[in-house]
Homo-oligomer: A and B are copies of this chain.
């Protein structure tokens, strides 16, 4: 697997009919590194599936291990139950979006937002292998705070039995990114309305200790660093 052609192919997802946008094609990307970065920065994905012929969009935590995404939930929750029953798996669409800025244009029409999103189409399968389940659950905790899985009590038999894990491979994937200022029409340049971007920022506030936390337990460095 050496040579320029092979390397280029490995670094990007292959576009499909579903991942090539009908408009704003210049915003689309299939670059794996970009896709991973957008996924790793998010806390919640929006998982879409079809129930009784109608769409459902569920906000839920997720984790990534290489080219696989994992979602977990109670064995009693609807999508998890459906995945277990479904053969061969449950068709899903998983989307992660970051809003980076508000784009104000002179014209109402050109108002927009700057964003980075990833959309994954595919089939979700229930994970039953104990070792893959353990890796997936660690990835879900580490996705919230990197390194945290090692600094918490692992799941016990009862908890593991109550938890379903589903897997979605990163195969049919695209990113979409908008950056930059407002794109007004040439004839609007002299209008008196302000145009530009209000950048948004994700901020962390001071961690709040649980009321029942023993007095001796100090804030770990990986949280103080946030």
Residues in chain A within 8 A of chain B (CB atoms): 18, 22-23, 43-44, 46-50, 53-59, 61, 74, 76-78, 91-95, 97, 99, 102, 104-109, 111-113, 115, 117, 119, 121, 137-138, 140-141, 144-145, 148-149, 151-156, 159, 163, 181-182, 184, 188-214, 217-220, 223, 226
Q: How far is the CB of A45 from chain B (nearest CB, A)?
A: 9
Main secondary structure of the interface of A (DSSP, over half): mixed
- Other contacts beyond A46-B46, A194-B223, A201-B205: 15, CB < 8 A: A54-B121, A55-B91, A57-B94, A58-B119, A104-B152, A108-B137, A108-B141, A108-B152, A109-B163, A113-B144, A194-B218, A195-B209, A195-B217, A196-B207, A200-B205
Taking CB atoms, residues of chain B closer than 8 Å to A191 are 153
Q: Chain B residues with Cβ under 8 A from A182's Cβ?
A: 210
Q: Are A193 and B217 in contact (CB under 8 A)?
A: yes
Q: Is the Cβ of A207 less than 8 Å from the Cβ of B214?
A: no
Instruction: Give min CB distance, A182 to chain B, whole Å.
Output: 5
Q: How far is the CA of A69 from the CA of B121 in the complex (A)?
A: 26
* Chain B neighbourhood of A117, CB < 8 A: 59
User: Which residues of B are found within 8 Å of A152, using beta-carbon distances?
Assistant: 104-108, 111, 193
Contact, CB under 8 Å: B205 / A199: yes
Sample of 20 A–B contacts (CB below 8 Å): A43-B99, A43-B113, A44-B115, A48-B48, A50-B54, A54-B93, A55-B92, A57-B57, A59-B97, A61-B112, A109-B159, A145-B198, A153-B193, A194-B223, A196-B207, A196-B209, A198-B207, A199-B204, A200-B202, A201-B203
